[in-house]
Amino acid sequence: MARYTARQGQGAQATDPAAAAEMRALTDLWTTRAREAMQAGVAADSPAADAVVADVVAGWLPSGANNNAAVTSDGPDARSLLHEQLTAAAEPAVERFWQLLCILGGQPAPASIAAEGQWLTTALRANPAPGTRDSRLEALYAQDSDPWPGGVLDAFARVRDTVGALVRATTPEQFSLPTPCEDWTVRDLLDHLVWENIIWGGLAQGAPPADGHTEDHLGADHVAAFETASATARAAFRQPGMLDRSFGPAPGRRVAEQLLIELLVHGWDLAAALGGDRDLESDIARAALPVVQEVYGELPRTVGGSFAPAVPVPRNAPALDRVAAFLGRRIPH
C-alpha cells in the first residue's frame, strides 16, 4: 500500500485535513452504495451492478482520489484505475491492523468494509465499461433456440416438481445442517429457493416483489411457502406470449430458463446437504451445462462474485455434479 501511494504521489493527502475529509466522504459513498446493493440482492457480477458502479465512478472522478487528469469521464480507463486503487487498499490484514490500533488507543474500532470492497471490485471487473455486461447478454439472448428437453416450460415444470419433492422431504430438524452454499444452512437455502420463485415469477407478471431477499420467506411452513411461490411462478410463465415478451435485453424464455437453472442447481445443493441422490433430472442437467458455461463463463470468480472458481470433477461424474462443479461447488465423495 505504501509503494502504491508513493507511485501515485498521494502521500501529502494523509496530512491534509480537507483531503482526508474528502476521502472519508468518498469512502462513505461507495460503501453505502455497495451495501445497499448487497441488501437488495444485487449480484456484483450482474448487469444491475453497472448502475451502482456508475454512481460510484461519478463521485470518484472529481475527487482527489482520481490522480489522472486525463480520466474525466466514466469508461474503461476510469473503472480500471478505480479498481486498481480499491484492490491496493483491500488488504484484510491492514484493515485489522487499523482496528487494533483503535482498540489499543481506547477508540471505537471502525466497522469492517471488506464485504463492500469485495462487492465493488467484483462489480468493476464484471462491468469494466458502461453497458459491458448488458451488451454481452443482449448478444447471447439474441440466439433464438430452446435447448431444453421438451421445451423450457416442460423442463421447468419437471425441475420444479423434483425440487418440490426434496423440499417436502426436508424436516425442521434438518434446518441447521450446512449446505454447499458457503455460510448457508438448509433453512437459508430453502428460503432462497422460495425467494427465487418470488422474484422471477414476479418479474414475469410485471410485478417484482417489494420486499428484499434478506427477509424471511418461509414462515412457519416451508413446504407451503415453496409450493405457493413455485406455483405462482409456473402460472406466470404460462401466460400467453410470455416466452417471446421482452424483459430488457432478454426474451421471456430466458426468464423461465433462469429460474429453471436456479432450482436445478440449488436442488443439487439441497440434495447434497441432506445426503441424498444428487443426480437430478440428468437429461435436463446435460442440457444445462453448456447454457451455464455460456451465460456465466466470463464472470469473475472472486469472493464478491456469484460463484467460486470451478473445481475438477471426474469425467464420468453425473451431469448435475458437472454443472455444480463448474459453478464452484465441491463435490461430496
pLDDT at 222: 96
DSSP assignment of 141-190 equals HTS----STT-HHHHHHHHHHHHHHHHHH--GGGTTSB-SSTT-BHHHHH
The pLDDT of residue 4: 64
Q: What are phi and psi of 246, to 5 degrees?
A: -90, 135
Cα(115)–Cα(90) distance, integer angstroms? 10
pLDDT of residue 144: 67
**Bridge partner list, 246:** 251
Q: Can you give the pLDDT at residue 61? A: 92
Side chain identity at residue 277, one-letter code? D
Give the pTM. 0.76
Question: Using CA atoms, how far apart are residues 223 and 230, in angstroms rounded to an integer?
Answer: 11
DSSP 5-60: HHHHT-GGGGG-HHHHHHHHHHHHHHHHHHHHHHHTT--TTSTTHHHHHHHHHHHH
pLDDT at 299: 77
Residues of the chain with pLDDT under 70: 1, 4-16, 89-90, 140-144, 210-214, 249
Q: What is the DSSP string of 96-132?
A: HHHHHHHHHTT-PPPPP-HHHHHHHHHHHHH-SSTTH
What are φ and ψ of residue 131, in 5° steps?
80, 5
